[in-house]
C-alpha cells in the first residue's frame, strides 16, 4: 500500500509547470536587487572578528566620515562583520594610469628591439631602403611611446601624492619603469594602513582579513565567470542531446538548470547575499545538482521499461528528493555554522546552494517531469 498518491496520475499534472514558472518570474524580479561584492565590482573587503555593539549604520557613518568616502556596506553576524568599501578614487585613477604606462612601456620596448634589428640590417647594407624607412618609423614609435610614458607616470604620481608625497618623473625610461613598479604598491600599502587604523579607532578587533580588488580586475573576473556559465550550459545541452537524440529532453534539462539558477539569484537579491566569486561557486553547484536530477528523471521515463511512465516518474521523484534532501541538510548545517563563525565564503556558498536546491524541488518535479511525461506520451502515440 502506497503512503502517498502518485501526483503524476492526476488530471491536473499539465498545470504543475505553472509553479516553477511563477518562481522564475519572482526570481527575475528580485535578481535585479543583487549587489556585486568587491571580488567582482572592485573595492576593499575587510572581514573582522569582533563582537561590537555598534549598529551597522553607526559603523558605516563613522568609516565614511573618517575616510572621506561613500558609506560602506556592512554585513554583521554573531561572529563578526564584513565591511566593503568603495575603492579610493585617487588610487583607482592611479591604477588606470599605471596600466596605461605599462602599455606604452611595452610599445617603447618593442620599438627599441625593432630599431636594434633594423640598425643591424643597415650596418650590413647601408642602401637597404626598407630598413631605413622602417628605422624611421620605429624611432617615431619609440619617441611617442616615451612621451606617453612620461605623461601617464606624471598623472599617476599626481593621484598618488596624498599617499607618497610629491615625486618627480625621472628623465630616463629605466628610472621611470623602476618608479612605476613601486609607486602604486607603496601608495596602496599606505592606504591599507590608514583604513586599518581607522577601523581600529571605531571597532575593537583582534584579527582581520583585507582584500583589495581593482575595478579592472573585478570586471575581468565577472566577464570570465559569465563565459564559464555560458560554456557550461552549451556543453550540457550537447551532452543531453547526444544521450537522448531529441531536442525536448535537452530543452527540459537546460530549462531546469537555468530556472534553478534564476530562483537562486532571486533569493540572493531578496536576502541580500552579494554576487561574488564564492556565490558563483554556489550557483555552479546548483546547476550540477539540477542536471543530476533532471537527467535522472529523463533517463528513467524515456529509456527504461516496465511500469507506466507515470510510475517511473514517481519512482524517480522519490530517489531524487532523497538526494536533494540530503544535500539541503548538509548545506543547512554549513549555513548555520557560517552565521555563527562568520566565514563569508561559506555563508555565500551555502546560502546560494540552499535556495537553489529548494527551487530545484519545484522545478524538477513540478516543471521538468510533467514536460518529459508529455513528450513521452506524444512519442508513444506517433
Q: What is the pLDDT of residues 178-204, one digit of tens each?
A: 999 999 999 999 999 999 999 988 888
Are 123 and 198 contained in the same domain?
A: yes
Q: Given this model, what pLDDT does residue 352 score? A: 92
Alpha helix stretches (DSSP H) within 165-214? 173-202
Q: Is residue 2 part of a domain?
A: no
Q: Given this model, what pLDDT does residue 1 score? A: 42
Q: Point out the residues of the chain with pLDDT beneath 70.
A: 1-4, 38-39, 41-42, 77-79, 214-219, 342, 382
Q: Given this model, what pLDDT does residue 18 score? A: 92
Q: In the structure grid, which three cell numbers stand for residue 309, read together?
A: 511512465
The closest alpha carbon to 68, from 84, 48, 88, belongs to 88
Q: Given this model, what pLDDT does residue 51 score? A: 77
Q: Given this model, what pLDDT does residue 168 score? A: 92
Spatial distance between the Cα atoms of 197 and 41, rounded to a whole number of angstroms: 24
Q: Is residue 71 part of a domain?
A: yes
Domain termination residue (choose one: 212, 234, 259) = 212
Are 190 and 243 contained in the same domain?
A: no
Instruction: Give the chain's domain count.
Output: 2
Q: What is the pTM of this model?
A: 0.69
Q: Given this model, what pLDDT does residue 8 score? A: 87
Q: Which residues contact 376 (CB under 8 A, 6 or more apart)?
A: 301, 302, 309
Q: Which residues contact 93 (CB under 8 A, 6 or more apart)?
A: 159
Spatial distance between the Cα atoms of 105 and 177, rounded to a whole number of angstroms: 8
Are 56 and 79 contained in the same domain?
A: yes
Q: Given this model, what pLDDT does residue 155 score? A: 95
Q: Given this model, what pLDDT does residue 307 score? A: 81
Q: Given this model, what pLDDT does residue 153 score? A: 94
At CA 372, angle to CA 366 and CA 376, rounded to 5? 140
* Sign of the CA dihedral running 216, 220, 223, 226: negative
3-class SS of residue 81: strand
Q: Given this model, what pLDDT does residue 216 score? A: 65
Amino acid at each position: 500500500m502506497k503512503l502517498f498518491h502518485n501526483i503524476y496520475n492526476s488530471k491536473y499534472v499539465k498545470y504543475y509547470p505553472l509553479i516553477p514558472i511563477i518562481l522564475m518570474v519572482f526570481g527575475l524580479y528580485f535578481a535585479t536587487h543583487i549587489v556585486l561584492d568587491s571580488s567582482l565590482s572592485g573595492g576593499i573587503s575587510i572581514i573582522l572578528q569582533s563582537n561590537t555593539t555598534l549598529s551597522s549604520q553607526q559603523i558605516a557613518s563613522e568609516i565614511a566620515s573618517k575616510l572621506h568616502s561613500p558609506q560602506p556596506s556592512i554585513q554583521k553576524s554573531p561572529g563578526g562583520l564584513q565591511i566593503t568599501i568603495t575603492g579610493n578614487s585617487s588610487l583607482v585613477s592611479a591604477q588606470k594610469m599605471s596600466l596605461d604606462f605599462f602599455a606604452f612601456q611595452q610599445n617603447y620596448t618593442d620599438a627599441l628591439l625593432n630599431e636594434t634589428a633594423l640598425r643591424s640590417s643597415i650596418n650590413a647594407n647601408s642602401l637597404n631602403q626598407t630598413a631605413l624607412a622602417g628605422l624611421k618609423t620605429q624611432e617615431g614609435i619609440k619617441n611617442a611611446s616615451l612621451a606617453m610614458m612620461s605623461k601617464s607616470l606624471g598623472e599617476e604620481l599626481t593621484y598618488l601624492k596624498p599617499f607618497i608625497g610629491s615625486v618627480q618623473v625621472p628623465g630616463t625610461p629605466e628610472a621611470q619603469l623602476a618608479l612605476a613598479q613601486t609607486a602604486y604598491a607603496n601608495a596602496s600599502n599606505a592606504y591599507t594602513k590608514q583604513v586599518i587604523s581607522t577601523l581600529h579607532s571605531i571597532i575593537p578587533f583582534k584579527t582581520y582579513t583585507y582584500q583589495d580588488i581593482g575595478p579592472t580586475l573585478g570586471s575581468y573576473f565577472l566577464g570570465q565567470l559569465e563565459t564559464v556559465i555560458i560554456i557550461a550550459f552549451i556543453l550540457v545541452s550537447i551532452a543531453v542531446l547526444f544521450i537522448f537524440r531529441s531536442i525536448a529532453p535537452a530543452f527540459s534539462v537546460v530549462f531546469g538548470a537555468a530556472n534553478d539558477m534564476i530562483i537562486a539569484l532571486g533569493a540572493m537579491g531578496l536576502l541580500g547575499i552579494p554576487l561574488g566569486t564564492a556565490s558563483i561557486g554556489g550557483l555552479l553547484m546548483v546547476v550540477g545538482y539540477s542536471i543530476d536530477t533532471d537527467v535522472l528523471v529523463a533517463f528513467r521515463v524515456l529509456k527504461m521499461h516496465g511500469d507506466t511512465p507515470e510510475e517511473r516518474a514517481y519512482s524517480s521523484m522519490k530517489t531524487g528528493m532523497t538526494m536533494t534532501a540530503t544535500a539541503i541538510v548538509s548545506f543547512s548545517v554549513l549555513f548555520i555554522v557560517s552565521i555563527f563563525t562568520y566565514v563569508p565564503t561559506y555563508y555565500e556558498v551555502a546560502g546560494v546552494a540552499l535556495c537553489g536546491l529548494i527551487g530545484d524541488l519545484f522545478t524538477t518535479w513540478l516543471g521538468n517531469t510533467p514536460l518529459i511525461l508529455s513528450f513521452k506520451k506524444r512519442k508513444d502515440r506517433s
